[in-house]
A and B are shown apart, each in its own frame.
Chain A
């Protein structure tokens, strides 16, 4: 069992829909990261958070430390949002990242 679990594994949406991707982890963390990987593979850091909520444009990330759960929301989705979204955590013991398996998002026009 992976220490970082993401759901869903695959998600298809119509343009304009509200999207939620979930991430759960097994033990206490120092920080949680949401990353985006486009076809062709570059990785972009979207958010790093350890509590509460962060917003950037149409993207919102929340974390509930007690429930060991985070969500990434995309409002008014667009085909250019199509990518793999990856949740990663830094455990309290160090800086290395442990990754979820990723969520493949496809937004159709």
Chain B
């Protein structure tokens, strides 16, 4: 049973380009969370999605960032017109269902570098 998969593992973008980060949850998991870890900082919540629904996006920057989790395929975190401050590690986690008692399993992360 494969764990949470993220790709790419490393992504380099020039300022102004778009970044697309993918997350495939564990088999049987329909809930996905995205977290960001800025350099020398702790992890911060960004967005929580269920298949075809955004449940909580209170941690997402208001502009340039969007997320989706379609019925088929991976969850996508999209960053438009990237800036240097977007350079960070982006982790996704998946869980079987909603609620604090369901454990979240983390992917290996995507390290985004904006040059």
Contacts and interface: CB of A to CB of B under 8 A. Distances in A.
Interface of A: 2, 29-31, 33, 35, 41-45, 48, 50, 86, 88, 90-92, 94-102
B36 to A, nearest CB: 11
Interface string B93-115: 10100111111111011010000
Interface of B: 31, 33, 35, 37, 41-45, 48, 56, 59, 89, 91, 93, 95, 98-106, 108-109, 111
Contacts of B104: 33, 45, 95, 97
The 4 closest A-B pairs by CB, nearest first: A30-B100, A90-B100, A43-B106, A99-B43
Contacts of B42: 2, 86, 99-102
Contacts of A31: 100-101
Q: Is the interface of B mostly helix, strand, loop or mixed?
A: strand
Contacts, number: 66
Contact of A44 (B33, B48, B95, B106): B106
